[in-house]
A and B are shown apart, each in its own frame.
Chain A
Amino acid sequence: MQKENVFEIENLNLHYGAFQALIDVGIIIPRQRITALIGPSGCGKSTFIRTLNRMNDLIPSCRVEGKVMFDGEDIYDKACDVIALRKKVGMVFQRPNPFPKTVYENVVYGPKIHGEKNKDRLDEIVERTLKEVALWDEVKNRLNKSALGLSGGQQQRLCIARALAVGPEVVLMDEPTSALDPIATLKIEELMSGLCENYTIVIVTHNMQQAARISDFTAFFLNGVIVETDTTEKIFANPANTKTEEYITGRFG
């Protein structure tokens, strides 16, 4: 029986050297919902989302304290297997970053790394994930051509497919549409509501309408602190905090 909440975070503090980027962050990420993280630039939302799959490990000066429970296990515990964690918690980045390989090779990269060799099963993964991101019809005849020949929006959907190919529970998206045009953005937004039937999605966005349109829950970050977190409806219709209200009505940020 899976727990209702994928992530339960308490008292999370994160330092880059002497600078404290996250202060006493506590939040719950519910399963198979879309949680949006909003807030002005530099407020810590990207830093926060990167603590969820330990991508911050790559930055030498970064220090993390507190509890980040994923499926009931503390991912900052020494016993935690980072590779296994990242397999369950996938990530999509701001700029589309497909590898300079074929479309097919991009999707099977993860499964191959994790030991899948069966050609039929790999083919099946490619078809399933590309259908999940509504890219199959556009690329099924060019699976063996370079992924760099796709449009920006297609590349980003390919990156989502690549993340889905290893069968994650959670997909973290760090401003996935900020480098895309409105039509490509719309396609990815449409996709996300379908994806949350099978996956938990955490998305960082600068676009307030996007958060309002697609998410079930919203957390508002300001200067490393979560000011308010609630259902998206409540945050946008009736925020409890005046800072939140000022931000979502566009008075700063």
Chain B
Amino acid sequence: MVSVALITVFVFMNGLPSMVEHGFMEFLLGDRWRPTNGLFGILPLVVGTLCVTGLALLIGVPTGVASAVFLSDILPKKPAAVFKFAIELLAGIPSVVYGFFGLIIIVPMVKRIFLPILQVFDPEATTTGFSIMAGGLVLAIMILPTVVGLSENAISAVPSDYREASLAIGANKRETAMRVLVPAAKSGILASIILGMGRAIGETMAVLLITGNVALLPGSILDPVATLTGTIALEMSYADAGHQQALFAVGIVLFCIIFILNIIARFVASRMGVGGK
């Protein structure tokens, strides 16, 4: 409690003056982040973070929920336990290792596989591989343990009465999972998604290594972006006083986004907690 309060006070104390100095709106909505020229518009960073996170959710959530259904209701108990253990292991891998994996495997893959696909629609497209796509893919893997673990718990907790009722009407396992179990477990699944989203937004090291860190508004998912966290981590070491304060202000924005997400997660979980529609 005390440390949370201290961190909050510290970040706000260091960051707020900079926000006020550059104008609140210009800070939030300015589309140029050039700290060396005194331009502190964080819109490209916010957009970068949201794009990478959004893509990660787009890929990670369907995969994660499908895996959760597979583990809880389709696979027999013993192999399911092995898979669950493997997915829990994913959570223990340091994020810099994910970044390394992304750098070696995903970034070249984006260049080799996704660029030709995009070029079908836009022949001028180019990419270095460092991109929203690469960041989204790696983050999708990183949020899997959160999404799969919590969703699997929620689905397993659905009373088996519902399963029997559905199967007895002649539904198969897939229909039962999609139409009865997932809807009945939706509060838990939603909470898992929001927590996964928090993880994705807060992730620093992995995205730092693979998104390219170019603070410009991206034109396509193969463009490089800079994220809020990545920018703070990269620039803090050489920032002068004003720049440093601006980075603290970026921290405030990050802080608020994650704080709001947590509140939504709690609200969703408590509101839809008991069965209900």
Given contacts A100-B183, A101-B277, A146-B276, contact A110 B170 (CB under 8 A): yes
DSSP majority for the B interface?
helix
Bound together, the chains give a CA A163 to CA B168 distance in angstroms of 8
Interface string of B24-66 (1 = CB under 8 A from A): 0000000000000000000000000000000000000000000
Q: Roughly how many angstroms separate A109 CA and B165 CA in the complex, as a whole number? A: 10
A100 touching B276 by the CB < 8 A rule?
A: yes
Q: Give B201 Cβ to nearest chain A Cβ, in Å.
A: 31
Looking at B5-13, B131-139, B172-180, B253-261, the stretch in contact with chain A turns out to be B172-180
Q: Cα distance A104–B198 when bound, in Å? A: 37
Give A164-181 as 1s and 0s: 1 = Cβ < 8 Å from B's Cβ atoms: 001000000000000000
When each residue 124-155 of chain B gets 1 if its CB lies under 8 Å from chain A and 0 otherwise, what string results?
00000000000000000000000000000000
A247 CB within 8 Å of chain B? no
| A113 and B179 contacting across the interface, CB-CB below 8 Å | yes
Q: A100-B276, A100-B277 are in contact. Are A166 and B161 (CB under 8 A)?
A: no
Interface residues of B (CB under 8 A from A): 76, 159, 161-162, 164-172, 175, 179-180, 183-184, 275-277
B179: chain A residues within 8 A (beta carbon): 109, 113
Instruction: For residue B47, give the distance in angstroms from its CB to the closest CB of chain A.
Output: 38
Produce 1/0 per residue, A86-104, CB < 8 A to B.
Answer: 1100110101011111100
For A231-248 the 0/1 string (1 means CB < 8 A from B) is 000000000000000000
**Chain A residues positioned under 8 Å from B276 (CB to CB):** 100, 146, 148
Residues of B contacting A80 in the complex (Cβ-Cβ under 8 angstroms): none
Taking the complex as formed, is A60 at the interface, i.e. its CB lies under 8 A from any CB of chain B?
Answer: yes
* A-B contact sample (16 more), CB < 8 A, given A114-B170, A146-B276, A148-B277: A53-B168, A55-B167, A55-B168, A60-B76, A84-B170, A86-B167, A86-B170, A93-B164, A99-B166, A100-B162, A101-B277, A102-B277, A109-B166, A110-B170, A113-B169, A113-B170
Taking a contact as CB atoms under 8 Å apart, the answer to whether A91 and B168 are in contact is yes
**How many Cβ-Cβ contacts under 8 Å join chain A to chain B?**
74
Which residues of A1-60 are within 8 A (CB) of B? 53, 55, 58, 60
In the bound complex, residues from chain B placing their C-beta under 8 Å from that of A98 are 165
Instruction: Say which residue of B164, B167, B275 sits within 8 Å of A100 (CB atoms).
Output: B275
- Chain A residues with Cβ below 8 Å from B170 are 83-87, 110, 113-114, 166
Check A93 against B275 for contact (C-beta < 8 Å).
no
Q: Across the interface, name the chain B residue whose C-beta is closest to A146.
A: B277
Residues in A with CB closer than 8 Å to B166 are 99, 109
Find the residue from B164, B170, B180 having the highest chain A CB count within 10 A: B170
Query: Among B165, B167, B172, which residue has its beta carbon within 8 angstroms of that of A99?
Result: B165
Q: How far is the CA of A44 from the CA of B217 in the complex (A)?
A: 69
Q: Are B168 and A113 in contact (CB under 8 A)?
A: no
B22 to chain A, nearest CB (A): 50
Residue contact B169 to A90, C-beta cutoff 8 Å? yes
Docked complex Cα distance between A201 and B183 (Å): 31
- Whether A192 sits at the interface, judged by CB under 8 Å, is no
Most chain A beta-carbon contacts within 10 A, residue among B76, B184, B275:
B275
